[in-house]
């Protein structure tokens, strides 16, 4: 990557980050994210009752579901807003490549989500105070959560480029991310086994984020899981580029 490309990406990223933190919506999002994490961890996750110094079940296991709605809410405006106010055409006429703008917006939003995730550190401090946790497993869980948020976000970036309506972008991204959860869910695979060949069931299940994220929850960092999340992000961002090229040529 050339220095000019890096500069363009960082310029776009700073613009988007400023857009996030200059708006009260960002702080509302972070507060809601932290409150939901606290509720699911300490109430539904029965953090104080399981008697185990681990965040795998009470904390990380809820992230695919929390992200299912909050990540699309955070990213639905990225391209939809540009299309709605008519600045997309102006942005695409700048002397930057479309992929640089896509990466800049994606990185800025991913950093924003990383900040929100990082602010959950009191949960880690709590489990450290109450017991002797495996901090390596906790670090792996945070890495998996970060990658999961990035995968959902990349999908949202793609759906945001499809429409100028943020609500439609939100719904589309929730549906796609919901599929990525259900694809490997045991009740779904058991249903598919009844009428579909094993090869098709295995293919559908391979799209699921759950087994890959589950390994991170258990403290296992596997190259195959890393490649899965990176592949989802690359494919979605590539799809965004195809959509924007179509808009530029229209």
Write the DSSP string, 34-59: HHHHHHIIIIIS-TTTS--S-STTTT
d(CA 28, CA 142): 22
- What is the distance between the alpha carbons of residues 232 and 215, in angstroms, rounded to a whole number? 17
User: What pLDDT shows up at residue 58?
Assistant: 85
Phi/psi at 196 (5° precision): -110, 150
What are 26-73's pLDDT values in tens digits? 899 999 999 999 999 888 777 777 777 788 888 999 999 999 999 999
Query: Does the model's pTM come out above 0.85?
Result: yes
pLDDT digits (tens, 9 = 90+) for 192-220: 777 777 777 777 778 889 889 999 999 99
Q: Which residues of 8-46 are buried (b: 16+ CB within 10 A; e: fewer)?
A: bbeebbeebbebbeeeeebeebbeebbeebbebbbeebe
Residues 6+ apart with CB under 8 A from 105: 12, 13, 16, 78, 79, 157
The pLDDT-based confidence of 1 (bands split at 50, 70, 90) is: low
DSSP conformation class of 1: -
Predicted confidence (pLDDT) per residue in 112-139, tens digit = 999 999 999 999 998 888 888 899 999 9
pLDDT tens-place string over residues 157-186:
999 999 888 999 999 999 999 999 988 777
Helix and strand element counts for the chain (H, E): 13, 0
- At 62-113, the pLDDT tens digits run 999 999 999 999 999 888 887 777 777 677 667 778 888 899 999 999 999 9
Residues 237-247 have pLDDT tens digits of 999 999 888 77
């Amino acid at each position: 990557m050339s220095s000019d490309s890096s500069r363009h990406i960082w310029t776009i990223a700073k613009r988007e980050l400023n857009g996030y933190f200059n708006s009260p919506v960002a702080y509302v999002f972070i507060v809601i994210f932290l409150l939901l994490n606290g509720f699911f961890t300490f109430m539904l996750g029965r953090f104080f009752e399981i008697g185990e110094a681990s965040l795998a079940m009470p904390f990380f296991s809820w992230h695919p579901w929390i992200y299912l709605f909050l990540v699309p809410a955070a990213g639905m405006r990225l391209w939809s807003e540009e299309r709605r106010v008519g600045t997309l055409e102006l942005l695409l006429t700048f002397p930057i490549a479309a992929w640089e703008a896509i990466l800049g917006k994606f990185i800025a939003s991913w950093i924003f989500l990383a900040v929100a995730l990082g602010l959950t550190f009191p949960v880690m401090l709590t489990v450290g105070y109450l017991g002797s946790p495996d901090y390596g497993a906790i670090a792996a869980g945070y890495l998996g959560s970060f990658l999961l948020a990035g995968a959902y976000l990349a999908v949202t970036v793609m759906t945001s480029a499809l429409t100028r309506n943020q609500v439609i972008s939100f719904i589309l991204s929730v549906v796609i991310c919901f599929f990525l959860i259900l694809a490997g869910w045991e009740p779904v695979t058991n249903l598919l086994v009844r009428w579909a060949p094993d090869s098709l069931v295995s293919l559908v299940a391979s799209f699921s984020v759950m087994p890959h994220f589950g390994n991170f929850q258990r403290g296992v960092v596997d190259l195959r899981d890393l490649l899965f999340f990176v592949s989802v992000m690359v494919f979605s961002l590539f799809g965004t580029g195809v959509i924007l090229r179509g808009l530029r040529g229209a």
